[in-house]
Each structure stands twice: as structure tokens, then as C-alpha cells.
Amino acid sequence: MSTVLQVRDLTVELGGREVLHDVELTVGDGETVGLIGPNGAGKTTLLRSVLGLVAPTRGSVVIDGADPGRRRGTVGYVPQRHEFSWDYPISVRAAVLSGTVHRRRWLRRASADDRAAVAEALERVAMTPLANRPVGELSGGQRQRVLVARALALRPRLLLLDEPFTGLDVPTQEMLTDLFGRLRGEGNALVTTTHDLAAASEMCTRLCLLNRTVVADAPPDGLTDPEIWLRAFGVTRSQQLLRTLSDPGESR
């Protein structure tokens, strides 16, 4: 297994406040790593640091042997749905095509290869029949599939997912879980933030418990000690978290 992502000693300050400190994370091809932690733990900031959108105070991020700025066009990113302007008058196909701009020069028109990648991405998320529909007319699940297709249009080796299952119906969750599993099987590396412990345990090869720094990093079956989770979430033994851990189905 070769290393796709290497985060070393990463510390990030935003607005004079330390959001992440001394984060160490390595992700290889064919791995799906789930970032688990409470609100404000720095999960989204870590993804944005990997994308090169947030500059570290200390430490480094290396993607396939280079800094994020040089790999921007090869990393797929699926943001939370509210971060996309769904009221913009654009079709599904055009929205997915917009994801390819990072791999071509400024103002350069999309190539035949870009359009082929868009067609492949739409097919993978079962959105080809809706390719000409305005994005503003889509349901929540369809919008999420557009964001995933937009990331896949880069044909990325590394895919970053920020809360990909929030607010989705069960069929859409199952379809995306199956897709992410196929992507991992093809040798891609995936990093996802999620609050759904059951989905993370099913989908991820490793879980990284994050609370401004890495509290634990292991396969799901290696994180059975409740004390690790209590430390990661900063709660007491009386909290709902313990009941969720004893019955993961409750987190759905």
C-alpha cells in the first residue's frame, strides 16, 4: 500500500485561536478513514488544510509526494450541501463540469476529456437522466449526488467528504455507501467526516478520533474501549454516547 496523504505535526490557528494542534495522519490507497469528533473538533478545518485552503501555523500536508497547491486538481472534495449555491441558474451537467476547473488553465475551455469525465461521474451517481435539469429543482439526495459527481469528475486519487450522509434518505445513503466502497476497491483513498457512528463503522477501514488533535486512530474493531471515546468527545460516562457505542444502530 502506497501513501496518498501524509499529515505531519499539523497545527492551525484561526482568528488567533488554535483549532488543530500536532495532528498526525497517514492515509494509503484503498483506505477509507473516518474523522470522528464533536462539533468544533477541527474536522472540516483538517479537510480544508489538506485542500490547501487553510495555511498551517506549523507542520505539513503532503499529497502524493507534493504540497496541496500542486495536487489541487487531483483531490476531489464533497462539501456540505449548504456550501453550494443551489439557486444559481445552472444545470446538473454544468455544475459537475465546474468541478474540473482546477485541472485546466484559467479561462481555458473544457476539453473532450473533461466532458467524458463528467459523463462518467454522472453515470456513477445515477444522475445521467437529470443532467439537463436546473440544480435548484433537485431534492436533497439528488443535490448530494451532484456534489459527489462534481468531485469524481476530477478522477481523483484522494476523495474528501464532509458529512456526506447528513439529511439523506436511506436509499441515497445506501447508494453512496456502495459507491464509496467501489471507489476504495479501485484503489482510491477516502477521508470522510461524519457524526454517524454506525455508518462510519460499516464504511471505514479506520476511524480517527479527532478533538483538535488525534486522540486515537485504529480500525473500528480496535476502538472498543469507551474511555477512548469519552476522551475524544470530552463527555462523562453518563452521556448518551456510551449507549450509542453499546448499540451503534441508535446513531442512525
Report the percentage of the chain scoring pLDDT > 70: 91
Query: Residue 202: what pLDDT?
Result: 87
Domain ranges in the chain?
3-64+157-251, 87-155
Query: Residue 196: what pLDDT?
Result: 82
Give how far Cα 117 sits from Cα of 121, 154, 224, 236, Å. Answer: 6, 7, 41, 48
- List, in sequence order, the alpha helices (H) in the chain: 43-51, 68-71, 92-97, 112-124, 140-152, 170-185, 197-203, 226-233, 240-246
pLDDT band at 198 (very low <50, low <70, confident <90, very high): confident
Query: Residue 240: what pLDDT?
Result: 55
Q: What is the mean pLDDT of residues 163-171?
A: 91
Q: What is the mean pLDDT of residues 104-119?
A: 81
Name the more confident of 41 and 242: 41
Distance CA 61, CA 65 (A): 9
* Interval 33-65: pLDDT, tens: 999 999 999 999 999 999 999 999 999 999 988
Least confident window among 36-50, 91-105, 152-166, 214-228: 91-105
Rounded to two decimals, what is the model's pTM?
0.89
Are residues 189 and 158 in contact, defined by beta-carbon separation less than 8 angstroms?
yes
Query: Residue 200: what pLDDT?
Result: 87
Is 3-64+157-251 assigned to CATH 3.30.310.50?
no
* Structure-block grid coordinates of residue 112: 473532450
**Which residue type does 28 have?**
G
DSSP state of 84: S
